[in-house]
Structure 1
Amino acid sequence: MLACIADPHGSEPRGERPPKVWDETLPWWDDTRAQLRRAFDGGPETPAQMPFPCYEANLGAWARRQAHEAAVHRVDAELAGERDATTFDTAFAADGVDEALSMIIHRRSADWSALGASGTVLVHAEDARRLWSLTLTPGQPPALTGPAEPDVTLSGGADAVYKRLWRRPADVSITGDATLLDPLETP
């Protein structure tokens, strides 16, 4: 990430690799962490190269992306340890749903020509009082659209919808043609 901050308009983020000698790794990590903390003191609008074109190229976008990446992997670790998965704060989970539907699914496939699904999907994070409506058109990526009569509705608490979109166990309600949710699955 330090390389992305140092060269915010570059095209190839290549950062320093950790030392190969174990005794040098922890001091390197501590120094790198301190540099990152200082960099984040610049605020969310600080320019930073972002390898995903649908995100703004700044530290705020990096923080958002990394927060959701870490959250999903936390759920994975808890489930692997046969523990109950963390329940995320409603606002955070709703933001994760928004990120998955507005940005992540578009990274899933560079070639949408094989998408044959057609219809409207309504995603409802009930406790967050947020709705997302997506239109599926054969050969094109899903598009966020205004309200329409859905062919399938995915609903539940923001935490459950967030986890379901990331293909983790979740208590959600699905009404309609559930196969229309397949193109919305995250990578």
Structure 2
Amino acid sequence: MVRALSLAPLPLIPLSLAAALALLPVSAAVAETQKTSAELRLESAAGVFEQKMEEFNARAERIQADESLSETQKGLRVAALWSEYQPHVADFTAEATRQAGLIAEAALAEVDVEAIVREATNGIAPLIEGLSSNGAWAQADPEHMVTYGLVAQYGVDQALDALDEVGAAALATPPAPPVPPIPSGA
């Protein structure tokens, strides 16, 4: 049985919009007055892809508007039409992946990662030193040791209970019958 494809709202506008939106964060990350060759290639590929999707949309709408076709026939024809355009989607995706990598590489080349790490960790060293010297684990207090021992014992008990449950479940499940031997003459 062949089902008609539900094509009332064709997913082409979101697809082409997604292609256009894919360019925005990458372009914003590089934010230069002059675009790189990778950005230009990506924009060009997006333009070609957009045209192909508009072409597909127009053809699919003509199929949907054809009142001489049943819903099943319309669905089959649009599905066949989509298979014709799938290579364009794959090509654009591959090109976008290539160019996005080059764009990101160019953007990261201008980022001073060491400065970002320095800024992010500025002031953390005294905090870590204070925690490590003043934390409960740094104290040799017998009461803390008992508490830590109880916590560890609780974890071990939980693990043992889980193992017991797995063992009980394994015993409750009957074993599979043995596989009969293969005759030696076969």
Tell me the TM-score range normalised by the shorter chain.
under 0.3
Relative contact order (C-alpha < 8 Å, sep 6+): which is higher? 2
The answer to which structure has the higher strand fraction is 1
Give the number of the structure whose alpha-carbon radius of gyration is greater.
2
